Amino acid sequence: MIDIVIPKWGLTMEEAVLVEWYRAEGEPISEGEAIAEVETDKANSDIESPASGIVRELLVEAGASVVPGQVVARIEPQ
């Protein structure tokens, strides 16, 4: 499994909100494709998939607070 983690955008980022999932569990995703939208205190950004595969686990609900380095999803590579 490949972990999807919240990146640290900027030196002062301490937390963010996972606004929306673009894929559901069991759906395919391609490398570089956006899997979720994250809102920080300065901007909204997309998290891109690091690999092609199947989304196996979404570990946080949309609307939840997340921190840099937190694993939020897992992809089974294809």
Mean pLDDT, rounded, for 8-13: 77
| Distance between CA atoms of residues 51 and 26, nearest Å | 15
pTM over 0.85: yes
Cα dihedral across residues 14, 18, 23, 25: positive or negative: positive
pLDDT in tens, 26-67: 999 999 999 999 998 888 999 999 999 999 999 999 999 999
Architecture of domain 2-77: Beta Barrel (2.40)
- Strands, E assignment, 1-78: 2-5, 16-21, 28-29, 34-39, 44-48, 53-58, 65-66, 71-77
3-state secondary structure of 4: strand
